[in-house]
A = this chain, B = another copy of it.
Amino acid sequence: MGWAAVSAGEDVRLKLVEADEPEENDYHLQEQVGFILRKAHQRHVAIFAAHIADLTPPQFAALAKLHDVGETSQNQLGTLIAMDAATVKGVIDRLKARGLVELSKHEVDKRRLLVNLTAEGREAIERLIPLARDITAETLAPLSAKEAATFMRLLSKLA
């Protein structure tokens, strides 16, 4: 440590600080919620990829939400799956290129771009939803059922 060479003077300062406040002087990155949140998300994405190789989580989210609510505008879909306009455009473009969704213009409001599942897209999402349940289960596997319920409740408060 840097203060070893001048330990006498520095020691006094450190002791005073510690006497004033019980606060930890060190900063431990691995204890910060943002860092752990990022790692937990990484782990989940890896689990997802192991179960569903041909779709990313955002792509799955778009299909699942379309399956849930039916035809919507691209922007509205983005709101529903927490993606900004630029991001959702890319996701939808790739799903369209693969024939899983189709686009059409809104009859009345000419600004809107309507997105809908194709038959193939519907078949795909209905086939994948059971796998998604497995993904959720595997992600939460390190927790007991009670812990998982607590975790989901608290995580929801932060999202």
Contact = CB atoms under 8 A, between A and B. Distances in A.
Interface of A: 26-29, 31-45, 48, 57, 61, 64-65, 67-68, 81-82, 129, 132-133, 135-136, 139-140, 142-143, 147, 150-152, 154-159
5 contacts: A33-B140, A36-B155, A38-B41, A38-B82, A155-B155
A139 B158 contact: yes
A64 B27 contact: yes
* A-side interface mostly: helix
Nearest to A130: B27
Contact of A27 (B34, B42, B132, B151): B132
Contacts of A152: 31, 33, 36
A151 B33 CA distance: 9
A155 B29 contact: no
A43 B159 contact: yes
A84 to B, nearest CB: 10
B68 A159 contact: no
B39 A159 contact: yes
A122 to B, nearest CB: 8
Contacts of A29: 61, 64-65, 68, 81
A27 B60 CA distance: 12
A158 B40 contact: yes
Given A33-B136, A81-B29, A143 B158 contact: yes
A34 B154 contact: no
Contacts of A159: 36-37, 39-40, 43
